[in-house]
Amino acid sequence: MSTMTAPFRQSRTMTVTRHLSIFGRVQGVGFRIYAGRKARELGVTGWIRNRLDGSVEAMVQGTPEAVDAMIAWARRGPRSAVVSEVRISEGSGEYRGFEMLPTE
């Protein structure tokens, strides 16, 4: 009697990482706090911070669907934000949790 083993299955879910630059009225409106809540809700990791030029910058990592949902949220932001543009590029790094970083 022979035994056959199941083919190797990759147990790790595919993740993507995107760098976001968010412009408009995005500071002083709770953008980072609400982004952190949304990231935790979606299971997205990474970081977010205000920029000295008035924009918000974020690195988001997760499943393609979760990252897409986070980007869709960033295009709207919280109710009091007015997002005029979101620039998206490839991101890098590995993250555990979602952090709020100091302004840079």
Is there a catalytic annotation at residue 32? yes
From 32, 37, 51, 79, active-site residue: 32
Residue 63 token pair:
């499943």
pTM score, whole prediction: 0.86
- The CB density around residue 1, as the number of other CB atoms within 10 Å, is 2
Tens digit of pLDDT per residue, the chain (104 long)? 444 444 444 446 799 999 999 999 999 999 999 999 999 999 999 999 999 999 999 999 999 999 999 999 999 999 999 999 999 999 999 999 999 999 99
Identified catalytic residue from 50, 76, 79, 87? 50
